[in-house]
Amino acid sequence: MKKLNHDSALYKAGLLGILCAVCGLLLSVANAITAPIIAENALATIKANLEEIYPGATFNDVTEQYIGKDETGLIDGIYEAEGKGYIFTLHGVGYNSNGFTFMVGFDNDGAISGYTALEQQETSGIGARAFEQEYSDQIKSLTSSDPIPLLSGATLTSTAVQKGIDAAKAIFNDLQGISYDPNAQAATPEPAKPQPLANEDYSSNNVTVEEISNDGKTGVYHCTAKGFEGTNEADVTIDLESGTITSIAVTAFNDTPGVGDTATTDAELARYSGKGLSDMIDSTTGASMTSRSLRAMAANALSLATGTELTPGTDSGASGSGIGAEDFSEREAGCVVYTNLDETAFVYSCKATGYQGVNKAYVTVDTTTGTVKSIEVTEFNDTPGVGDKATAAEELARYEGATLESTVNATTGASMTSASIRAMAAAALKMAAGN
């Protein structure tokens, strides 16, 4: 071994320095080559799913960067689709204790671009509806500022979905600097307004009614109806003279204990006494399926006792004229809760098709009286000089105080635009009624 000046400290430091520099260079070369492949591997498993929302996009895994902001622990992964938006993968627990995973995507401007289950084993036809087209279309029509509505009959599953999306919204909105009201309540358009007993559709309840006794004054009927998972049975006592229910007693309960049985408590059942076919009985919150089986039995017993046929789907209350009864199916009107001014005045952001484009408006509704307070057109896409006659301030003033039963005449010469405004007013009122 040669040892010329090898013992000098300068030589040693120099040697180590050069060695470290060479090794550092080698490492950065190796990293440059392998890093993209490693990142791609990590994405490969999820990429097929991400492509469903943004086909052909370039994805970056930004989970590490942003997940620290998640306070709920529901977010599994965050992926950026370059120039398009963000996708969150999430998990939640609905009815099935194994839980489920799903993903939700937001466009950079805030619109929800996709919502799909990744893995779920919720009950088919019930909780699984939270991942089917109807609900997913509803979610995809929203933006990151909108509250996520629940799905009635699939409350447990859609609540878990709602919590997950709320967590994703919080991070996404923070990321994009979108301000929104995280505590806004979603309107639940699905249960609509409660219908009179005779008008509800009980076809899925497979109701049977059997007369047990009838002394001309009082009749007792033994009924069965399918609830959430099993068939419930009840004895319904009816006052034949007035055609109303005296009492209802549940004799067999086969739905989920602790869930469905909130609808069968004495207090809940007491709500049926004195009710006839034209009365409405509200669903018990959180037990809508069991509750409906009870209404199905009550209605069918009443129908048999009074000899009145049930008329599902027709609501006599709305059969008059009024904007609530008008057919706006071609307007494709829709509203979301925009904000509320106080506890009774809600502002709905609505849209509806007019003559050639989609018009948008803020409809303020007094929810206690179910009347329109004001309408403000925010976007007008019909023919200028023609359709905009219907959007003039004095025309819009005609909606003040309108309910679903009121008739609002079309603006002459702007009937299509006018119809779109009526459609939005009706949609907002219906939404407010369902609230």
Partner 1 sequence: MSEKKAKKQSLFTRLLVENPVFGLYLGICSALAITTNINNAIGMGIAVTIVLTLSNILVSSIRNLTPADIHIPVYIVIIATLVTIVGMVIQAYTPSLYSALGAFIDLIVVNCIILGRAEAFASMNPIGPSILDGLTMGCSYTMSILAMSFFRQILGTGMLSLSNPFTNAEIFSIRLIPEGFELPFFKEQFGAFITFACLAAAVSAFKANVEKKEKSAEL
| 185 DSSP 8-state letter | P
**Based on CB atoms, which residue is closest to partner 1, 33 or 48?**
33
**Based on CB atoms, which residue is closest to partner 1, 27 or 392?**
27
DSSP annotation string for 49-115: HHHHHSTTPPEEE-HHHHGGG-SSS-EEEEEEETTTEEEEEEEE--SSTT-EEEEEEEETTSBEEEE
**Based on CB atoms, which residue is closest to partner 1, 20 or 249?**
20
Contact between 37 and partner 1 by CB under 8 A: the answer reads: yes
Stretch 41-80: interaction string toward partner 1, x if CB under 8 A = x---------------------------------------
Contact between 393 and partner 1 by CB under 8 A: the answer reads: no
Contact between 28 and partner 1 by CB under 8 A: the answer reads: no
C-alpha distances out from residue 198 to 232, 315, 352, Å? 20, 9, 32
* Min separation Cβ 19 and partner 1, Å: 5
Binder of partner 1 out of 31, 65, 316, 369 (CB under 8 A): 31
DSSP annotation string for 142-162: SBTTSPPPP-TT-HHHHHHHH
Contact between 11 and partner 1 by CB under 8 A: the answer reads: yes
Contact between 38 and partner 1 by CB under 8 A: the answer reads: yes
Residue 412 in tokens: 């002459």
Name the one residue in this structure whose structure tokens are 């219908």: 195
Q: Which window, 2-10, 60-68, 368-376, 427-435, contacts partner 1 (CB under 8 A)? A: 2-10
Beta partners for residue 214, in sequence order: 219
**Based on CB atoms, which residue is closest to partner 1, 12 or 47?**
12
> What is the three-class DSSP state of 223?
strand
> What is the three-class DSSP state of 376?
strand
* Min separation Cβ 86 and partner 1, Å: 25
Contact between 341 and partner 1 by CB under 8 A: the answer reads: no
**Based on CB atoms, which residue is closest to partner 1, 21 or 270?**
21
> Distance between CA atoms of 408 and 404, rounded to whole angstroms?
10
Task: Kindly provide the b/e burial profile for residues 399-427, where b requires at least 16 CB atoms within 10 angstroms of the residue's own CB.
Answer: beebbbebebeebeebebbbbbbbbbbbb
Q: Which residues bind partner 1 (CB under 8 A)?
A: 1-3, 6-7, 11-12, 15-16, 19-20, 23, 26-27, 30-31, 33-35, 37-38, 41
